[in-house]
Amino acid sequence: MIFEHFALNVNNIEDRIKWYVTYLNLQIASAQQEPPYMTFLADSGGRVIMELYHRPDEEITNFADQHPLTFHLAFVSENSESDKDRLVAHGATYVEEVKKEDGSHLIMLRDPWGMPLQLCQRTTKF
């Protein structure tokens, strides 16, 4: 089995997609123009990683009320400090950061809607 994607039912879907494409360099791999607006996003390498959609008749997780370690999206960053500053300037909020003994630098943010994002500048890449 090969991982394909995970899916999230979210509010503000159009704004979120625009923000993720603009500031996280994700690409729209496929988008449905009518409800529930299923949109598949790919990373900069072209690999689909997640689907966002909006179904108001189903539960929408309020990530702002959860600890960021309960769920977060993690992205490789070559310069986590610079990426943090850029994302915060465009609506993300800073949560915390960890500098590991091996030199890795992990920064936790929240996107403008409260979903946790982690920037991973690892000394040894996965």
| Tens digits of residue pLDDT in 61-113 | 899 999 999 999 999 999 999 999 999 999 999 999 999 999 999 999 999 99
- Please tell me the predicted confidence (pLDDT) of residue 14: 96
Which are the contacts of 54, defined by CB distance < 8 A and separation ≥ 6? 9, 10, 11, 13, 35, 36, 37
> pLDDT-based confidence at 116, cuts 50/70/90?
very high
- Considering the entire predicted model, what is its pTM? 0.93
Spatial separation of the C-alpha atoms in residues 36 and 32, rounded to whole Å: 8
